[in-house]
Amino acid sequence: MEYTIIEKKAFSIVGIKYYGNNSNNEIHGLWEAFEKRINEIENRINVTTAYGYDTWTEEIATTGNFIYYAAAEVTDDTKVPSGMDLIKVPSNKYAVFQVPYDYPRIDKVIQSIYKDILPAEGLELNGDYDFEIHHQKKEKSVFYFHVPIK
C-alpha cells in the first residue's frame, strides 16, 4: 500500500466519543449520531470534512478497547456543545494512507499498516493516536488515514 509523508500543524477538533472495541460496529452508529448533531458545533473549519480520531487505552492489548471520536475541525476558541469533547491534535509528521471505504476490510487494512507496512518501511510511531480525514463528496471512495511518525 502506498503512502505519503506530510507535516501537519497542530489543530483542534470537537466530537462525540466512543469507548470500546467496536465488536458490533458501534462506530457506524457513532457517526450517525454525530451527523445529527454536527450543526451544533460552532466555528467549524472546512464544513465538508470530518475526522475520525483514535487514541489507545492501556487495555487495547488485552481487550481491544480504544477511544474513538467522530469529529469536525474547529477554531481554538469554539464553544464545545454538551456531550462532546475538544481534542487538540499536536503538530507532527504523518504517514498518510488512502484507505478504501470497504467496511468489512478496514480493520485488516489498518492492522496491516501498523504490523507490516510501518515496520517494513522503518517508520517509528510518534504518539498514541491516529486519525482519519473524510471528505464529503458525492462519491466517497477513500478516506485518508494519518499515522504520527518520527
Q: Provide the 10 A C-beta neighbour count for residue 96.
A: 16
Which domains can be identified in the chain, with CATH numbers? 3-149 (3.20.80.10)
Interacting residues of 49 by C-beta distance below 8 A, sequence separation 6+ = 72, 73, 133, 134, 135, 136
Contact of 142 with 100, CB cutoff 8 Å: yes
User: In sequence order, which residues have a C-beta less than 8 Å from that of residue 122 and are 6 or more positions away?
Assistant: none
pLDDT at 103 (0 to 100): 58
Which pLDDT score is estimated for 106? 81
Split at pLDDT 50, 70, 90, the class of 127 is very high
Whole-model pTM: value is 0.91
Q: For residue 64, how far is the Cα from the chain centroid? A: 17
pLDDT at 96: 98
